[in-house]
Amino acid sequence: MRLLVTGAAGMLGHDVVAAAQNAGHEVGSLARAELDITDPAAVRAAVLDARPDAVVNCAAWTDVDGAEAEEAAATAVNGDGAGHLATAAAEAGALLVHVSTDYVFDGHAHDPYAEDAPTAPASAYGRSKLVGERAVAAAGGEHAIVRTAWVFGPHGRNFVDTMRRLGGERDVVRVVNDQVGSPTYTGHLAEGLVTVAERRLTGVLHVTAGGRCSWFELAQATFEETGTECHVLPQSSADLGRPAPRPAFSVLASTRPDTPVLPHWREGLRAHLARVEVTL
């Protein structure tokens, strides 16, 4: 299969390229510097030139707090850009695998969100991603919208590596304990996205790591796995004072039997730590 990966230099895109190559596929990769997905003519030219069987879109505005001040710019990437890719993929006869987020939900639920749960984003970032979902669906081509959550991996800034750094500098860290989700390792998610492309799955899918925890518990687990003697104290999201509201409950569930199943988040944490230890 011929795959085209956009946002290929990002934390997730890097691992999608690797996973596709490891699976024996022919892979074309375009980093943000090589393709501005807000430029519809450039997107069309790039996709038609690549002649892919599937496009995996990892290009995104991921600065959640920055989107609060620059919602139009975030929507140009996450919304309009996704639509441009969907239109070009449809013209090329390619499946678009588009990565979306738990932020399209308000986070007020107590049970995991299924694919058909009502969307109600509370932040500018979430709204921009929902615009993208709708643009992908409206383009009329074959597409899969893959929602995931709490992504971390070795090729970008992430919570786990921040904790590793702080744990080496401090005796105590404070971490929010009132947000719950499923931390998802990019290496596992990338394999899931390639599987979606291979099976040509369509529609909305929820693909996250198994299990759930709070950021507080993830910090504790990171220190346990690395043998770091750093004490974790709980704090509330309100105490943190971030510009963008975060969903308090971000656990996603899939009602589809064809959805790729990822390992438990703790397995993802161990896999990530094994990779980053090699680079130290």
User: Which residue's structure tokens are 């944490």?
Assistant: 269
Instruction: Find the helix packing angle between 82-92 and 124-138, rounded to 10°.
Output: 20
In this structure, is the dihedral angle defined by the CA atoms of residues 247, 251, 256 and 261, taken in order, positive or negative? Answer: positive
* Consecutive H or E run containing 12: helix 11-22
Q: Tell how many helices (H) and how many strands (E) occur in the chain.
A: 11, 12
Is 113 a known active-site residue?
no
CA atoms within 13 Å, Cβ hemisphere of 270? 6
Catalytic residue among 103, 113, 125, 185: 125
Strands 180-181 and 213-214: antiparallel
List the one residue out of 216, 196, 212, 205 whose CA is nearest residue 268: 212
Please tell me whether residue 265 adopts helix, strand or coil conformation.
helix
Cβ partners under 8 Å of residue 137, min gap 6: 143, 145
Could you list the beta-strand ranges (E) of 9-111.
Answer: 26-30, 54-57, 95-101
Catalytic residue IDs: 125
